[in-house]
Structure 1
């Protein structure tokens, strides 16, 4: 790992914001009363070097004295960091903050990050942290309890309140009642992955677009009859994607969203999802699709990476598949594959909201995006308060978020009076098929729209780089689907974490294996009770006891 120095300063766009004091109470309330409410003092004389006295929400951060901040940077193989990236030089003079980047490779970023933190060698700023990533580092004191200091972060407080995210913030607290990471905030949250469909085929053959999983089954049967050589539905993500978004409509959790595996039961206690009737119903539904030749068995075990057997994209292009798991990018990929075979404009590929099911029109709970942790050593810095202000601007100020995504207004992009953003001639963002091949890619060549741009987004900013089809998808989800309530938090203490980790992994492995066996028809559903008994023998009662104990403690402490 090497360390490279880059200057990092914000955009010149500045608006008059509300005071930090005006939002402090909101932030404190958002983190609850369990010890995570700004109860740590900052020595302004010793730790206020570089800080602004009048820093406020939506205002420009400008350090009163220059300082440096070390940052962990994950290197994507296809987006190598360049010394000449404009993202760094553009903002140098405005904040006086210099980032010193410690590079780790994407291929083993989580492992390298853990090693650095455990060894006490982590940089000050540790980004790309999703909720839960911080848990292993809490007991050692290696990372800072961010909820102790949110009164100094007015942008964070403002948008938590404005976007109604207070209850969600409460759910990221650890067993001691404090939050050790701050997440990227999303004004609107929609499932990234859902069903990608050939709309033209569904409308011509099946008579329309399915709204429920049962309607999808009927439509797939019609497609199978019209295209006998096809297997009309595929996953392409080792069964983890489709089960994830389908589970919410069946009232359970599965696939990528399995998490702890715990869901609400009939009473106050939580239950392990795979032991419930809802999980069995989910598995039985997909088992039926496989048995009827409607769901591609191969796509349930192989990643959609184009290697080995024909990828899902290739099957789409050959009229062998008409629906699959994917994102807005997947829809573009499928459409491009069809352009090469069926001719441009002879098809319509769309991302649709996850179908409704027995539990209703539920989709995943509103989500955060990745945020950051701070190394605990930052609290000893003379620039501590300025660091908090800088990160509050970087992660939560709208002007900063726009700059990180689009670059420099009137140089790389323009913005109309109605807020419409467009890249200027000679600039492209190939990842989103914007001005593709126009010359300078603002991501590859300038460093904008890299991972720091992803964390916090207003709806307008999210839609600014999205295709019209994905903008429609956002609207469709928000108007026709209901986010389910967040899963009840049950933060574990250090001893419980060690015990649960020894139990959770073999239990999850057993669940994944049996779930796929049932769906593929390799294990009869008559063995379901035997499967549950296997989980019991693998330590499920102790695991459930641990989680419910932590849940009861959390409720008592945060009542």
Structure 2
């Protein structure tokens, strides 16, 4: 098998943000809280707990999530609360996610007027390159005054290996993910039970089950997909003893050879495409699999059309909440990853170190020490505030160290309650820790009743050892980036232009070997060298 399984997947029941908790939890939600490294998180109160000697304003350039608009300091009780707790007044320059943020960030980075803090690095390689040239300050030079960041670096040694610049200095602190489980195989539970069908254990059984259901439910979509064919390749490849990483243009780390290889050149990849073509020809794989957008995918599920998909674990909760809300009998649940032709199975997890989403302090900062201390506060004493808002209003700390979301907040049991963003001005991206979805109360993971299908699905994946070890995040120097931009783009574009032709039958599978040669002629050997050189550099960090 080309991947190794990590240890048991972390199942820490913490929320990614109170906004999510409020939408999915009712009443009180209890969460154990410790600082990075296991130390108890210190409380601060008023000016006695300030992290600076006097009120200090910091200008922060930050992405704005479309669902979570950023309010000005004057209109945000949350930002005023942070000032009261730390002495730091945040002047946030927010720009919408996506191309607008990338364009504005590039303009700022090319100017001589950088803000104190870039809160969403977006392109770590670019920030690191500028850091090496002096535009950003290194955390290393301030670590003696940043105990919580130091604890975080000790707890997650992969941060430096993943995020550090080529000079091994750390110019960026990343977002931390406590949950490495990402996607899973999702089936309509109610229909499997109604038809007395067992969850398929192999891909051959999956085909048979979907054929049976297609005949019984001709108006349904047996297998729905979104985000194009690369989404399918990435999720299925491990089961055919190959790989396809979208972030590295199809190259993946083969853990047997300890080298990066280009998945489509392997025979297992070809066999996977042959199987997908069969599923498409039989009308099982969604005819719109290559073009269906996320909103279209969501609408199809709202209409209860799909029977099977591969998607994020959070969909288990959101879809079932939707069905329960409209008193529908439809339910979705995870099944163990089916085994491929040689017995391999599983979906790659995600690294706890989220690249291209970190914090950098510019050399232009008028008070760099205050900037670093505030970031340290976010990774330590401020973690609860960054996640939950205002203590005593949006959440409370219990005597046993747990957190309870305030009853006045919007939830399933209190749909007209207060909204964390609208009513308090909470800032989504200020939270640098992302946690799994939480529930109303502790639930038994062996129980597959309606209200517990999310936790039950987690246990299905864990018991099946369905989470495959993720590839490391590599960094590249300027020359390597030039190769990736030119030849990497050429290879990826040509792959995308042809892969759907093979699956849909527009190009015969007999031409696959010629297709591989066509890809090789576009610079695969040069790309192979770039990825393997970068991997060796990663190992030496």
Fold shared per TM-score above 0.5: yes
Equivalent of 1:125 in 108, 117, 126: 117
Q: Which structure 2 residues correspond to residues 87-486 of structure 1 after superposition, within 5 A?
A: 87-107=78-98, 108-129=100-121, 133-140=123-130, 141=133, 142-147=135-140, 149-162=142-155, 165-167=156-158, 169-191=160-182, 193-205=183-195, 207-254=197-244, 256-259=246-249, 261-264=251-254, 267-305=257-295, 311-316=296-301, 318=303, 320-327=305-312, 330-331=315-316, 334-335=319-320, 344-351=327-334, 355-357=338-340, 358-369=343-354, 371-377=357-363, 381=366, 383-394=367-378, 396-397=379-380, 400-416=382-398, 421-428=403-410, 434-435=412-413, 437-448=415-426, 450-453=428-431, 455-457=432-434, 462-463=437-438, 468-481=452-465, 483-486=467-470
Superimposed CA distance per residue, residues 28-67 of structure 1 (whole angstroms, 9 cap, x where no aligned partner): xxxxxxxxxxxxxxxxxxxxxxxxxxxx983356223322
Identify which range, 221-230 or 357-366, moves more after superposition.
Answer: 357-366
Aligned equivalent of 2:502: 518
Task: Give structure 1 stretches of 5+ with no counterpart.
Answer: 1-14, 27-55, 306-310
- The 8 Å contact of residues 260 and 504 in structure 1, kept in 2 or not, is answered as no
- The 8 Å contact of residues 443 and 449 in structure 1, kept in 2 or not, is answered as yes
Q: Secondary structure at the match of 1:512?
A: helix
- The 8 Å contact of residues 354 and 363 in structure 1, kept in 2 or not, is answered as no
- The 8 Å contact of residues 264 and 488 in structure 1, kept in 2 or not, is answered as no
Identify which range, 93-102 or 56-65, moves more after superposition.
Answer: 56-65
Aligned equivalent of 1:68: 57
- The 8 Å contact of residues 125 and 372 in structure 1, kept in 2 or not, is answered as no
- RMSD over aligned CA atoms reads 3.5
Distance change in 2, residues 1:178/1:435 (3 Å): farther
Q: Secondary structure at the match of 1:69?
A: strand
Distance change in 2, residues 1:346/1:190 (3 Å): same
Task: Tell me by how many angstroms 1:534 deviates.
Answer: 0.9
CA distance in 2, matches of 1:356, 1:175: 40
CA distance in 2, matches of 1:231, 1:82: 42
CA distance in 1, matches of 2:213, 2:196: 7
Higher relative contact order (CA 8 A, sep 6+): 2
Aligned equivalent of 1:39: none
Q: Secondary structure at the match of 1:90?
A: helix
Aligned equivalent of 1:12: none
CA distance in 2, matches of 1:65, 1:99: 14
Distance change in 2, residues 1:315/1:154 (3 Å): same
Aligned equivalent of 1:500: 484
TM-score by length of 2: 0.78
Q: Secondary structure at the match of 1:443?
A: helix
Task: Tell me by how many angstroms 1:470 deviates.
Answer: 3.1
Aligned equivalent of 2:475: 491
Task: Tell me by how many angstroms 1:70 deviates.
Answer: 1.4
Q: Secondary structure at the match of 2:195?
A: helix
Task: Tell me by how many angstroms 1:82 deviates.
Answer: 2.5
- Give the number of aligned pairs: 485
CA distance in 2, matches of 1:120, 1:353: 53
- The 8 Å contact of residues 203 and 339 in structure 2, kept in 1 or not, is answered as yes
CA distance in 1, matches of 2:137, 2:191: 53
Equivalent of 1:81 in 47, 56, 70: 70
Distance change in 2, residues 1:147/1:197 (3 Å): farther
Distance change in 2, residues 1:273/1:415 (3 Å): same
CA distance in 2, matches of 1:451, 1:520: 41
Distance change in 2, residues 1:230/1:449 (3 Å): same
- The 8 Å contact of residues 245 and 364 in structure 1, kept in 2 or not, is answered as no
CA distance in 2, matches of 1:367, 1:552: 21
- The 8 Å contact of residues 124 and 163 in structure 2, kept in 1 or not, is answered as no
CA distance in 1, matches of 2:298, 2:290: 15
CA distance in 2, matches of 1:128, 1:515: 34
CA distance in 2, matches of 1:180, 1:260: 28
Task: Tell me by how many angstroms 1:183 deviates.
Answer: 1.4
Superimposed CA distance per residue, residues 110-169 of structure 1 (whole angstroms, 9 cap, x where no aligned partner): 222122112243322222346xx210233333334445544543223334545xx32464
TM-score by length of 1: 0.76
Q: Secondary structure at the match of 1:538?
A: coil
- The 8 Å contact of residues 348 and 470 in structure 2, kept in 1 or not, is answered as no
Task: Tell me by how many angstroms 1:300 deviates.
Answer: 2.3
- The 8 Å contact of residues 289 and 295 in structure 1, kept in 2 or not, is answered as yes
Task: Tell me by how many angstroms 1:507 deviates.
Answer: 0.9
Q: Secondary structure at the match of 2:228?
A: coil
Task: Give structure 2 stretches of 5+ with no counterpart.
Answer: 1-32, 45-49, 442-450
- The 8 Å contact of residues 241 and 255 in structure 1, kept in 2 or not, is answered as no
